Chains A and B, each alone.
Chain A
C-alpha cells in the first residue's frame, strides 16, 4: 500500500463496501485496541439485557458457516428456588476463553493454542485427531465433536473479526446488546475464580478460571437452579473406549500375575496379554475421528495424560513383545543361549508389569484429570485396577485349566480375592453415590443408573455376584472343574464388566452451564 495514506485506505475500503454497515451499532460493544500485557479479551454478558431470544446462537451459526445443527452458543434458564419472589434469568453462554484452559492442557496433539496477545483459546482444526478428550476436560461443554468431520470445533471469539475492528457474530446479532467484548486483567480473573464468583448452578470456576463476566443489576439468588435440573439423560457410551479399557486392563492384570506363574503358563499368559493389549489399542483407535493422525498423540506429554497414556502403552507393548517372544523362544529352542534368553524373558516380563501399571495409572489419570466427581481417583482407580486384577486372575485360571497346571487352585483363590476386592469397591462407590447430597453429580449419576439403565445396572451387580460365587464354588470343586463350567463363568464376568464400563461413561454427571427446557 505504498503511497496510500491510512485515510485513503479507509475511504477506499468504504467505497468498496468493505466497511461493515453494522459497525455503527456495535462499535461501542468492542474494545478499541488489543489487550495489554497481563490482560485478555473476554465476553461480558449483561444479564439484565439478555432475554433468551437466541438470536446470538443463530447469528453465530450463520456468520461462521457452521454445519447444520452445529452451534457454538447456548441458551439456558436459571430459575429462583424461593417461592416468595419469583426469579427467572436467561443466560447466553459460549467458550469462556479461560486463563487455564482445560481443553488445551488435556489435548494430546496440541491442537489448542491460547493466543498470547488476545487470550483467545483457538482450536487448530487440522491438527485435531478427534479424540474428544477436550469435550470431557472442558467443564462448560464448549468443544463440540463434529462426527462428519471427525474433529472437534469451537468458538474462537471471532478473533479474526476483532482484529479487523469487527464485532464477533454473537455481539453483532444480539438485538438487545447484551453481549460485549471487554478487556480483563488476568489477575482479576484469577481473583474472581478463586472466590468462586461466576454464575450460580454452574461449574466451579476454580477449575479453569473462565474469563466471561456475567453482570447484572439484580441479585442472582445463589440457590437459583437451571430449569433442566430434573432432566436426566445418558451421555455418550464411547463403546470403543469400553472395549479398549477392558482389553488393555485384562492384559495388564495378566502381566501382574504372570510374573509369579510357572513357565508352562507364562508363555501363554505373555502371548494372551500381547494379543489383548493390541486388540484393545486397535479397538480404541476406532474412537478417534481421524485415526490416521494418531501418531501425533504423544505431542502433549507435558500436560496431557492422554499423551502420557499413549507413551505408556507404547512402552507396555514394547516390553510385552520381547516377553512373549523370548518366552516362546525358550519353549521352541530351549538349547539356544538358555540363560540369556531366560534372563531377557523374565526382565521383559517384569518390565511389562511395570509399564503396564504405568499405562493403567495413566488411563486412570485421564479420567481423574477431568475433575468430574464421578470419575475421581478413588472411583476410577478402583474400577480399573479391580478389572485388571479380576480379569487377570480369571484368564490366568482359564489358561491354567487349559494347560492343566497344578497351580489352578491358587489361580481360583486369586480370582475370588480379586472378586471380593471389586465387589467391595463397587459397593463402596455405590454407597458414596447413594448418600451424596440431593442433586449433586454423584447422586444424579446414581439416579440415572437406576432410572434410565436399570437392566445394565442389574446386569453389572448380578454379574459381579455370580462371578464371585462361581469362583468360590470353584475353590471347592478344585481340579475337577470342567471347562464347560469355566467358559460361562468367564462370559458372565465379561458381560458384567462391559455393563460396568458402559455405565461408567453413560451415567457420568457433572456440573454444567444452565440448560433450557427439553
Chain B
C-alpha cells in the first residue's frame, strides 16, 4: 500500500478536492447530480420570477432544498429553465434578508417583536382612519406573492380594516392588457396557450424582447416545426430581432399607427373572415369605416417608420390565411395609448378570424409570476374573482361565500396606483402599506416620488429584503418569507394555475405573508371574518367557490394535489364540464363565445394620439427603456442576490446610443455621459451600437436611477404608466475635459 500512498502524494488522482466535484446518479429521473447535493426526495413547483410559469423540480435533502432542475415534463417549459429559474434558490440565502420586524424610533429603524409590530400597525392605521376616514389609507401590492395571499391581503384591507384603495405593481405591467381584454372580450381573458407558439405560421412579436425577457417562451418558438415567419416589431434591433426572421424597426410609439395601417391593408385585401366577424363580433362596420375614413395609409406608414413594402408583405402573408399570432408585452402595455394599441391587435385577430384556433390569437405575455392572480383575485381593481364592487349581486355573492356581512364590502372602486400616489401628494392618503414591491425603485419620476412619500404619516413595507429603497423609508418593516418558503398558487400567462411549496424555512423571525396577515387580522380584531382561512389551501377553496359562473371558473379543481397531478391547470376548469377540459394545453374562444352578455367580442378603436412628451431642441432624443438581460429581474433585489446572475449581468447602468448620434455629441464608447430629462438627471456609461437606431437612446430599466428620468403619463383606460417614451438630452460628462 505504501507505494500507492507515495504515488498519490506525488501525483494525486483523487482526494477531497476531486470528491467535491464528483457526480452521481441520483435517481428521481435526474441523471447525474453533484454528489454533495444528491437529493433524498424531490418536489415540483412553479418558478417565482416571471409569468412564463416554468415548473422546477426542487431537490431536497433532509427536508431542505439543496438544488433544483427544471421539471422534465411540465407542459410549460419541458425540462428547460432560464438562468433565473436555475438560480431560484439563491436569493433566499441573501445576507440582506429581512429577519426581524423593524420600527422607526427617533429616526432609526430598530428591531421589535411581532407583537409590538402588529400593535403599532393597528394603532397607527386606526388613528389615521379615525381622523381622516376610510380613504386616508391605501396599500400597494404586487404580482409576486401567491393568489391566496393576495386575496387575504385584499380581503383584510377592504373587508376587515375597512379601507377602500389598494392597487398592485401589476398596474405597471399588465393593466393595459387586462383592460383591453376586458373591454374587447368582456373579461380579462388572455386566450393563448403556449402551444400556439409551436403551431403558428406567422409569429408577430410587438414590443417584446422575448429572447431576453421570456427565454422559455422562445424555447417554445424553437419547437415550432412549421418553419414560421417570425416578425419582431421593435424600435431596437434586440437579441429577439436577431433571432427572428424579420425585424420591423418601427419608430418609438409608432405601434398603433403600424397596426392601423396593417388593418387597413388587410381590409383593402378583403382578408376579412366574414363568417367569424358576423357570428362572433360586434362593431365591425364602424371599425371598417374608421379604417377607410380615418386612416390615411401614407400618413400611418410614415408615422410608424416602416416601408410600404414591409407592411404589404406582412398583410399578404396574413391574407393568405396563415395561422397568425400576435404576442406583445411591455412595449405595448407601457404606453400612453397602450389599451387602444392592444385592441388594435385584438381587432386584427377578430377581423381575420385569427382567434380560438391553433397558432393564432392576440396574446399578451405577462411579466410577473402571479400578475394574473393579482388581476383576478387581489380584490383591488375588481372584487374577488373578477367581480364588480359596484354590483350588489356580486357583493352579495362574495359576502355569502365568505360568510361575512355584505356591509363590509366597499361599494366603490379603488383608485389606481398613480391616483393613490396623487392622493398621498395631496395629503389625502396618509398611511400606506407596501407589500412585496419596491415602489421607490420601480415607479416613474423618482425625484417627485421621493417628495410624495415623505408626506406620509405612516409607511409600512412588507418584504423579503430589509434594504430595498422603499424599505429604507419605512416606519415599519415586516419581514416576509420568499418564494420557496411558503405555500400557495400562481397563475401564469396562459392562465395556468401552479403550486409553490415550502422547501426552506424563512430566516430569523420572517413569516410568510399569509401568516403576517393572520397576525394582523388578530391584532385588528377582525379575525372572526377570516376564521375559515387556517392555511392557504382554505383560501384557494373559497376562491374556487367565488369563481363559480365566472369565465375564470375553477370549481373543477379538487385541491392543491390535483394541480400537482395535472402539471398545473388552466382556467376555466369547471366542475362537471366535458372531458375536453382535461387537455393539458387549452386556448380560449374555440367556440367563438366571448364574455360580453351577447357573447360577442367588440371592435374598439381610436386614432393614434401624439406622445405626451415629444422631442424638441432642448431634449432631442427619445429615451427607451427595457429589459437589460435574461439574468436581471426588475429592481434586482432578487437577481443580484445570486452570485451567478450577478456575474452574468452588467454591473453598472449604461445607455445605448447610435454611433451617428454619438459622433455628433462627441461621445466615445465607454465614456461617462449625462442624461437629462425635465425630471432629473443621471450618469451612465455610453455604449455605441447601431441596434438602438438614430435619434433614440436605450437604458436598461433595472438600475435605481433610471426612473429619475421617466414620466408619469398613464394610459387613460388602464392607468398604466408609459415607461417607454420620453424626451432626453445626452451630453458628455461636464467634468470631463474636452
Contact = CB atoms under 8 A, between A and B. Distances in A.
A23 B645 CA distance: 27
B11 A86 contact: no
Contacts of A83: 659, 690
Interface in A9-24: 16-23
Interface residues of B, number: 74
A116 to B, nearest CB: 15
Contact of B647 (A69, A90, A158): A69
Most interface-central of A57, A58, A71 (chain B CB within 10 A): A58
Contact of B21 (A20, A69, A125, A517): A125
A88 B237 contact: yes
A86 B15 CA distance: 51
A53 B650 CA distance: 14
B502 to A, nearest CB: 21
B576 interface: no
A16 B645 CA distance: 34
A345 B216 CA distance: 75
A2 B20 CA distance: 32
A25 interface: yes
A55 B82 contact: yes
A175 B218 contact: yes
A203 interface: no
Contact of A299 (B10, B14, B216): B10
A109 B36 CA distance: 27
Interface in A73-107: 75, 79, 83, 86, 88-90
Most buried by B among A61, A75, A161: A61
Contact of B211 (A53, A153, A158): A53
Interface in B30-59: 30-37
Contacts of B222: 49, 175-177
B653 to A, nearest CB: 11
A425 to B, nearest CB: 32
B25 A164 contact: yes
A153 B21 contact: yes
Given A17-B28, A57-B644, A175-B215, A110 B23 contact: no
B244 to A, nearest CB: 10
11 contacts: A17-B30, A19-B29, A21-B73, A88-B237, A127-B11, A128-B17, A160-B32, A166-B31, A176-B218, A296-B10, A516-B650
Interface of A: 16-23, 25, 49, 51-55, 57-59, 61-65, 68-69, 71, 75, 79, 83, 86, 88-90, 109-110, 124-128, 149, 151, 153, 158, 160-161, 164, 166, 172-177, 227, 230-231, 296, 299, 516-518
A25 B631 CA distance: 24
B73 to A, nearest CB: 7
A16 B222 CA distance: 32
A124 B36 contact: no
Contact of A54 (B30, B630, B654): B630
A53 B215 contact: yes
Contact of A518 (B78, B79, B85, B651): B651
Contact of A125 (B17, B78, B646, B650): B17
Nearest to B25: A18
A86 B211 contact: no
B81 A55 contact: yes
Nearest to B78: A25
Interface string B70-95: 10110001111111011100100000
A18 B218 contact: no
A158 B643 CA distance: 22
A25 B219 CA distance: 12
A88 to B, nearest CB: 5
A299 B7 CA distance: 12
A517 B212 CA distance: 14
- Of A62, A174, A516, most B-chain CB atoms within 10 Å: A62
Nearest to A151: B17
B14 A126 contact: yes
The 3 closest A-B pairs by CB, nearest first: A65-B34, A20-B31, A126-B15
A517 B654 contact: yes
Nearest to A124: B13
Given A17-B30, A62-B69, A174-B80, 18 more contacts: A21-B31, A22-B72, A53-B82, A54-B82, A54-B83, A55-B81, A55-B215, A58-B81, A58-B87, A65-B20, A83-B659, A88-B242, A166-B31, A172-B79, A173-B80, A227-B687, A516-B650, A517-B654
Nearest to B90: A68
Interface string B720-731: 000000000000
Contacts of A23: 31
Contacts of A126: 12-18
Contacts of B646: 69
A52 B27 contact: no
B631 A54 contact: yes
Contacts of B239: 51-52, 88, 90
